[in-house]
């Protein structure tokens, strides 16, 4: 299946693993919760980016983009 997936999808997915590792490092090394929250927000953009960009639609489905 990996061979069938678009490269951008794989890059986004693998990058998200790395982004969470970086978030864990930040959480360990700062006392400022807002810094951690801000970085978490950046990671969450990857979630919505992937979920809205790569989807199997159902024919005739009424979906809002
Ligand atoms: C590289 C693309 C990609 C990224 C980035 C991504 N997802 Fe997903 N996500 C998927 C795919 C593909 C599925 C599987 C969809 C399915 O099984 O129907 C999935 C499934 C899910 C599900 C289960 C949905 C269901 O109806 O069962 C949740 C919850 C979810 N993702 C949350 C997240 C969160 C939170 C993030 C960010 C931290 C994230 N995803 C990032 C691609 C991605």
Q: How many residues comprise the chain?
A: 65
Q: Is any atom of ligand 1 closer than 6 Å to the C-beta of 12?
A: yes
Beta carbons of 45 and 12 less than 8 angstroms apart? no
CA atoms within 13 A on the CB side of 8: 6
| pLDDT at position 64 | 64
Percent of the chain with pLDDT over 70: 95
Q: Which residues of the chain have pLDDT under 70?
A: 63-65
Q: Which atom of ligand 1 is nearest to the CA of 9?
A: 1
């Amino acid at each position: 299946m990996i061979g069938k997936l678009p490269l951008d999808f794989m890059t986004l997915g693998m990058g998200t693993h790395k982004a969470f590792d970086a978030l864990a490092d930040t959480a360990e090394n700062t006392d400022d919760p807002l810094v951690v929250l801000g970085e978490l927000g950046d990671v969450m953009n990857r979630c919505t980016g992937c979920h809205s960009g790569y989807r199997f639609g159902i024919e005739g489905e009424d979906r809002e983009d």
